[in-house]
Copies of this chain bind each other. A is one copy, B any other.
Amino acid sequence: MARTAGSHSDITGPRVRAAAQKLFAARGFAAVSMREIAREVGVQAGALYNYTADKQSLLFDLMQSHLEALLQTFEDDPTATPEARLEHFVRFHIRFHHDRPDAVFIAYMELRNLTSDNFARIEAMRGAYEDRLEAILRAGVTDGSFDVADTKIATLAVIAMLTGVSTWFRSGGRLSLQDVEAEYWQMVRKAVAPS
């Protein structure tokens, strides 16, 4: 079988991942075949296996690189006040997720389609991100700037609230992303403040 154009792995790898992400987000992991991903990339189905072992590996790679980027991009400054660190987290989380709707959708919706080993690895990465926020909340409880009964629950509550933005916010609507960030920050700030 003749190799089709663009089959060098340094070029095709990212294109395979982009095609898989687009198709998984639009129709769901289970509904998409390797053959359809190959067609989207413009290679023969067999050629895909030069770049990925199988569809499960593709899904895991997509989720892993999304969470790696999340963990690497978020920068916390532990010398700042807990309130400044929390505001930075809120604005960062909203913006990061807004820029990557397909990756976010897959990272949340396709967890059930991971093998149990892969699921455990993804959960550990997500846990590491949650720990970054929980550290900020703990620092604020310690120095009295926050009043949170359970920092783990507050962490999950804040992340769920913020991630929700990506399900409804569309650029060009009534509010800018900056307006939305500011409003969520006011709600989060008050939610963890001493009453």
- Which residues on A are within 8 Å of B, measured CB to CB? 26-31, 109, 112-113, 149-150, 153-154, 156-161, 163-165, 167-168, 175, 180, 183-184, 186-188, 190-193, 195
Contact = CB atoms under 8 A, between A and B. Distances in A.
A105 to B, nearest CB: 9
Contact of A187 (B157, B167, B184): B157
Complex copy number for this chain: 2
B31 A28 contact: yes
Contacts of A186: 149, 195
Contact of A161 (B30, B164, B190): B164
B26 A28 contact: no
A180 B149 CA distance: 11
A187 B31 CA distance: 39
Contacts of A164: 156-157, 159-161
Contacts of A193: 190, 195
B190 A188 contact: no
Nearest to A26: B112
Contact of A191 (B30, B168, B188): B188
A191 to B, nearest CB: 4
Given A30-B30, A113-B28, A150-B175, A161 B168 contact: no
A167 B159 CA distance: 12
Contacts of A27: 30, 112
